Amino acid sequence: MSVTIVYGSDGGCTKKIASRIASKINGRVLDIKKAQVSDFEDCSLLILGCPTYGDGDLQTDWDERLELLEEADLNGKTVALFGTGDQENYPGSFVDAIGTLYDIVVEKGANVVGLTDVEGYDFTGSTAVRDGRFVGLALDEDNQSSQTNARITTWLAQLM
């Protein structure tokens, strides 16, 4: 199985998570700043990672290069999402960015896998929650970093 992980990161947190995921599944890691449309298409599993900033905003590089994802042929493509956020300082928009990416890939015909439970988190709202579950892996390195490794391992077992 070929896995491509496309991420955006300003402070380095999401980049570290992308690298950690890649090392566990032998995936290829790619910064959204260097991505091409073909990078979204030429893999059997596409994993997208994005932090949420402010009140639900995409990371800057994702925002500036979102058209690449929108141009990609994702019909029938298997896609998984992970996001980083801060549920204490931004409880009303926790990991909203992956909700934004989810809407785009679903509209483009992708099959999203790797939904996760909201149990164990303390937030008031998120556009990344659908039918009571996160649309991907939600991570809070600011407040729950001790749970990150276990959450990644459980999520990857679900994907693979």
pLDDT for the residue numbered 23: 96
Count CB atoms within 10 A of the CB of residue 75: 10
The pLDDT of residue 108 is: 97
Question: What is the per-residue pLDDT across 43-101, written as a single tens digit (0 to 9) for each?
Answer: 999 999 999 998 899 999 999 999 999 999 999 999 999 999 999 999 999 999 999 99
**Domain CATH number, residue 21:** 3.40.50.360
Q: What is the DSSP string of 42-109?
A: SSSEEEEEEEEETTTEEPHHHHHHHHHHHHS--TT-EEEEEEE--TTT-TTSTTHHHHHHHHHHHHTT
Report the domain count for the chain. 1
- pLDDT at 54 (0 to 100): 86
Mean of the per-residue pLDDT values of the chain: 97
Q: Which residues span the domain enclosing 97? A: 3-159
The model's pTM: 0.97
Q: What is the pLDDT of residue 128?
A: 98
Looking at residue 1, what is its pLDDT? 86
Model confidence at 104, in pLDDT bands (50, 70, 90)? very high
Residue 105 confidence (pLDDT) above 90: yes
Report the length, in residues, of the chain.
160
